[in-house]
Structure 1
Amino acid sequence: MKILGTTALAGALLAASFALAPAPAMAGKADDTLNAAFALEPEALDTYKIAGREGLILARHIYDGLLYKDLDTGEIKPALAKAWRFVDPTTMEFDLREGVTFHNGAKFTADDVVYTLTTVLDPAYGTRFRIAVDWIDKVEKVSDFQVRIKMAKPFAGAVEMLADALPIYPAAYFKEVGSAGMAAKPVGTGPYKLTEMTPGIRYAFERFDGHYAGSPKGKPAIGKIVVRTIPELNTQFAELMAGKLDWTWRIPPDQAARLASRVQIVNGPIMRISYVGMTVTGKGKDYPTKNLKVRQAINHAVNREAIVKAFAGGASQVLNAACNPKQFGCAQDVTKYAYDPTKAKALLAEAGFANGVDIEMVFAAMPRPVAEAIANDLGKAGIRTTLNEQQYAAGVQKWRAGELPAFFTNWGSYGTGDVAFIISNFFGGGADDLVQDKEVMELVNAADTSQDRALREANYAEALKKIADQAYWLPMYDFNINYGLSQQLTFKPHPDEFARWWLSSWK
C-alpha cells in the first residue's frame, strides 16, 4: 500500500522515468564527489538552532563534540576530549586534545569549550532543544587543555549529549559573528569543511585535510560532497537512475520496490517510533481513558501487525514497550496485548460501556491512512473514534493542556539510543506526562540521575513494566528508512537517522 501521500500520478511519472532514463553513469565516483539530495531544506547551520535531520546531518560533518558515539558498537569514544571522568555525581572533567585546528586555522583550546557551552546554555541564546543543555550548571577552565562541567542535576544522558550533539565552536570567531555568522559561514574541526553554500538549496564540502589525528570519525575516503535540495521525489529518482545522484533517502516503500532493479536500495531501522498516548489525569475532564479497562480495550482492539505490514514494512516491527528496542534500557519483558476485538468489547462492558464509547483522537506527523486504520479497528470493538488532524505543535499544545483523551504521533528521542530520552519525557512528571504515576516517576528519576548502568536498567525495566500493565500507551511500531544509492557507493545506515558520509567510500 502507498504511504506519505504517494499518488497514482507520482507512480505513473516514476514508471515513465524508468523507461526514459539513460543507463547510470559513474555518478560521483569519477570526480570523487558524493552527490546527495534532500527533499526538505536544511536549516541554518548553527547546530544549536537546528531541529530537522537535514541540517543536523550537514552540521555533524562540519563540527565535532567532546565525545563521539560509535553506533556500530555503542561505545563512547574520545573526540575533542582525549579522556574524561566523573569527579563526583555532578562533576565531569575533560582532558582536551592538543594540536587540533579549526577550519579557519584557529587552534583549539579550553577557551573554545567554555565559551561555546556557556553561550548556548544561556536561555537568551535560544538553543532549540533545552534538554540538550539544561543539565549543565556551568563550564570551568582548569587549564588550557582541561575543562570541568558542573551539572545542574545528575543526568544519565550527559555523556550521550556530549557525543556530537553539543559541538564546539571557535571562541574568538563565535564571539565576533554570533549565531547568525556561524550559520552563514560555519567553522568547525570536523572531517569536512563547507566551501560553498546557497542556503536551503546547495551545499558543497571538501575533505578537511587538517582534521586531527586520532579522530573517531577517521579520515574520509571521499574527497567532496555536494548536497542539493530537490523537493520533488520523482526528480530525485530520475537523477539517481541517470547517475547524477549518489544518495537520497526516505523513499516510500512502493517507490523503493520500483527502483530496486536500477539502483541500490538499502533499508534500515531508525530510533523513531509511533504511539498513541492516553490521558489518565484528564486535568478535570472525565475522559474514558482514565479507566484502565478502556485503555486495555484500546490496546487489544488495534491490529498492529496488519498496520505494520500494510503501512510500514521493511525493518519495522510492532512494539510492546513504550520505547525503541534499539535503545539502552528498553526492557522487553512487559505485558503484551494481542489483537483481540472480542476481548476488547468484553473489557469495555466491564468498564461500564457495554454500548461502546466515544473518544476523540488527534493525530499529528503521521499519515492519515494509518490513523484511519487505527480508528477503523477501534470502531469495530465499539470504540467510536473521531479523528482530528493537527500540525504537530498544535497537537502537542492540546495534549499538554489536557484537552484530548488520545494523541497519535511519533517520537525520535533526539536520535539518542537511551530510554532516558523517551520515557523520561512522557512518564517523568513533565509537561508531556498526562499519566503522573508517582511510582513510575520515582523509578524514572532514579534511573535518570545515576551513572550505574545496571541500576538504570533495573529501574527502567520496572517502570516500563508498569506502563504496560496499566496500558498507559498504545505503542505502535518503530520506523525504517529506505535509502537510494548509486551502484558505486558504499553507505551504512544507522538508527539515529544521521548519515555518516565520512564513513562512506566508493566501491
Structure 2
Amino acid sequence: MKLERSILSTVLGATLACSSLYALPALADKANDTLNVAFAAEPEALDTYKIAGREGLILARHIYDGLLYKDLDSGEFKPALAESWQFIDPMTIEFKLRHGVKFHNGADFSADDVVTTLNTVIKPDYGTRYQISVDWIDHVEKLDDYSVRIHMAKPFAGAVEMLADALPIYPHAYFVEKGSAGMSAMPVGTGPYRLVEQTPGVRYVLERFEQHYSDSPKGQPAIKHIVARTIPEMNTQYAELMSGKLDWIWRIPPDQAAQLERRVKVVNAPIMRISYVNFASSANNSASPISNPLVRKAIIHAVNREQIARVFGGEASAVLNSACNPVQFGCEQDVARYEYDPEQARALLKEAGYPEGFELDMTFAAMPRPVAEVIAAELDKVGIRLKLNENQYAAAVQKWREGSVPALFSNWGSYGIGDVAFILSNFFGGGEDDQINDPEVAALLQAADTANDRELRQSNYSQALKKIADEAYWMPMYNFNINYGLSADLNFTPHPDEFARWWLASWK
C-alpha cells in the first residue's frame, strides 16, 4: 500500500514538474465566457431515462427540466415546469403547469409534453434504466392544456423527490417522431443550456438558452458556454487544469489532491455515495458458508474498515455501520456494530464449523482493485481465501441478480437523494437485487416507503436497519467524498448529490 501511494505521488510529481514548463495564464476561457470541464468516464447517450452514470446525468440536467426542483441548500422543493402541485388524494397528484415555456427547438411547453413523456417512459418496453424512478406511476392524465394529474400505481413516499429533476419532460411531437434515439442524437429540453454540438462520449458543447423561462428555480446562467470533454488519463486532466485549458475536474484521488492543491484550488465535499459488500444468504441454494450469519459477522470483524476508509476514502470518510448514508432521512445509527477484531472473527468461524476457513468468491465492480485486494488480504489472515472477480458494473449486477454471486463489493449513490427509500428497498425490499429475502425486513420497508407520516417511516426504517445489522446482511464500508479541481477564476459550489450545477457557477 505504501509502495502504491509512493508510485502515485511520483507520477503526479512528474506531471507537476513538467506542467511548469508550459504553464499558461488561466484567462482565455474566462475571456471567451466558456467553462471547460472534463470527465474521466464517457457520458452515456443523453436520454436521461436510460443513463446510469453521473457524467451523462449532469449534462442532461443542464439540458432538461422536470416538473419540480429541489434546492439542496435549503432542502425546499420548488416549482419548475409545474407552477404548483397538490395531492388530491394519497394516490393522485395534480399539477398546474407553467405558461410561456419554450423548448430549445421553439416548441411551446404544455400538458401534452408531460403526458407523452411520462406515459411513454413508464412502459416496460421503453427500457428506463432505473424502474424505481417510474414504477410508482400508473398513468398521467391531461385535464387541460396546462393541468395534469399523475395517478400512482402504488403509494410512494419518494414521489416528489423523483419529480424534482429526475424525470425530465421532453417535447411531445419531437419525442413521438424521434423516440429515445432522437433524444440521444439531438436532445431537446427546456433547460438553462441547449446542446449545440456533440461527439458522443467524447465532446459536448452547451450554450446558454437565452429563452429559458424567467422564473426557473435554476436561474439564468452566468456563463455562456460549457465545453465538456472525456479525458480518461487523470494526469492529462491535471496538466490541463494547471495550464488553464480546463476549469473544472472531479473525483481526484486523495494522494493526487494533496499534491495538486499546491498549484490549483482543490475543494473536498461529501457526497451521498457509499461503498458496501452485499452478502447473498440465498446464494447457491444456501450451500455457501455466507448463508451462516456467524460467518458474515466474522467477515466484518476481520476487515479493518477504519483503515480502509482512511487510506482509500480520505480524511473526510468514515466507517459506516448502517446500510445507508448517515445524512439520509431514516438512516438509523443505533445498530449492531462490528469492530475490527480478527480474534473474534476466528472464534466465530470456529463456532460456525469453519475452523480452517474456506474459499469464497467476491465479485467487485465500480471500486478500485486495491481496495478489494486489501479486503482479500485481511480475510486471508483469518483463513477466508477470497477469489476476486472484477466485472463491469452491469455484468456484476446481472450475476448478482442471477443468484450466482455470494458477495458483491460495489457502491451506491441513492440517485443522489437524501432519503433511505432510495437505497434500502433496492437491496432488501424483495426485488431483483434482494438476495437476502427477509420477509420481515421487506414488510417494514414496504410500510415505510408507502407512508406519508415521517415518524412512522422513521420507526419502520429503524427496525429494518437494526435487523439488517443484527443479521450482518451487509458489510457497510465507508461514505465517499469528492475532490474537485477548480480554476482560480471559477465560483463553483459542490453538492452531495454529485450533480454539478454549472448553471449556478460564475466567474470571479
Aligned partner of 1:390 in structure 2 is 391
1: distance between equivalents of 2:398 and 2:207? 42
TM-score (norm 1): 0.95
Moved more, 86-95 or 191-200: 191-200
2: distance between equivalents of 1:5 and 1:166? 45
Please state how far the C-alpha of 1:307 moved relative to its aligned partner: 0.7
Distance 1:78 1:494, change over 3 A: same
Q: 1:12-38, CA deviations, whole angstroms, 9 ceiling, x for partnerless residues?
A: 641343332325322422222111112
2: distance between equivalents of 1:149 and 1:266? 40
Please state how far the C-alpha of 1:8 moved relative to its aligned partner: 7.3
Matched, 1:360 2:361: yes
1: distance between equivalents of 2:405 and 2:63? 42
Identity of aligned residues (%): 68
- Aligned with 2:78: secondary structure? strand
Matched, 1:186 2:187: yes
Whether the 8 Å CA contact 2:12–2:259 is kept in 1: the answer is no
Moved more, 48-57 or 199-208: 199-208
Q: 1:91-137, CA deviations, whole angstroms, 9 ceiling, x for partnerless residues?
A: 11111111212222222111110011112222222222222212111
Aligned partner of 1:42 in structure 2 is 43
Distance 1:459 1:175, change over 3 A: same
Aligned partner of 2:259 in structure 1 is 258
TM-score (norm 2): 0.95
Aligned partner of 1:143 in structure 2 is 144
Q: 1:306-337, CA deviations, whole angstroms, 9 ceiling, x for partnerless residues?
A: 11111121422211100111222111111111
2: distance between equivalents of 1:466 and 1:385? 26
Gaps of 5+ in 1: none
Moved more, 309-318 or 89-98: 309-318
Whether the 8 Å CA contact 1:207–1:222 is kept in 2: the answer is yes
1: distance between equivalents of 2:466 and 2:295? 18
Moved more, 284-293 or 442-451: 284-293
Aligned partner of 1:481 in structure 2 is 482
Gaps of 5+ in 2: none
- Aligned with 1:420: secondary structure? helix
Moved more, 177-186 or 483-492: 177-186
2: distance between equivalents of 1:347 and 1:393? 34
2: distance between equivalents of 1:197 and 1:353? 57
Aligned partner of 1:502 in structure 2 is 503
Residue identity opposite 2:189 in structure 1: G
Distance 1:314 1:193, change over 3 A: farther
Matched, 1:300 2:301: yes
Matched, 1:319 2:320: yes
Aligned partner of 1:51 in structure 2 is 52
Matched, 1:377 2:388: no
Please state how far the C-alpha of 1:155 moved relative to its aligned partner: 1.4
Q: How does 1:40-439 map to 2 (within 5 A)?
A: 40-439=41-440
Residue identity opposite 2:184 in structure 1: A
Distance 1:49 1:434, change over 3 A: closer
1: distance between equivalents of 2:262 and 2:408? 39
Residue identity opposite 1:107 in structure 2: D
- Aligned with 1:29: secondary structure? helix
2: distance between equivalents of 1:357 and 1:390? 23
Distance 1:4 1:81, change over 3 A: farther
Q: 1:404-435, CA deviations, whole angstroms, 9 ceiling, x for partnerless residues?
A: 32221112222222211111011111111121
Residue identity opposite 1:411 in structure 2: W
1: distance between equivalents of 2:230 and 2:390? 28
Matched, 1:463 2:469: no
2: distance between equivalents of 1:109 and 1:404? 47
1: distance between equivalents of 2:340 and 2:230? 42
Please state how far the C-alpha of 1:504 moved relative to its aligned partner: 0.8
Q: 1:380-418, CA deviations, whole angstroms, 9 ceiling, x for partnerless residues?
A: 223232222233233223322322322211122222222
Q: Report the aligned-residue RMSD.
A: 2.0
1: distance between equivalents of 2:201 and 2:6? 23
Q: 1:168-190, CA deviations, whole angstroms, 9 ceiling, x for partnerless residues?
A: 11112222322222222222111
2: distance between equivalents of 1:226 and 1:71? 25
Query: How many aligned residue pairs are there?
Result: 507
2: distance between equivalents of 1:185 and 1:373? 44
1: distance between equivalents of 2:426 and 2:107? 39
Distance 1:42 1:389, change over 3 A: closer
Distance 1:356 1:126, change over 3 A: closer
2: distance between equivalents of 1:374 and 1:433? 23
2: distance between equivalents of 1:406 and 1:38? 30
Moved more, 417-426 or 281-290: 281-290
Whether the 8 Å CA contact 1:13–1:234 is kept in 2: the answer is no
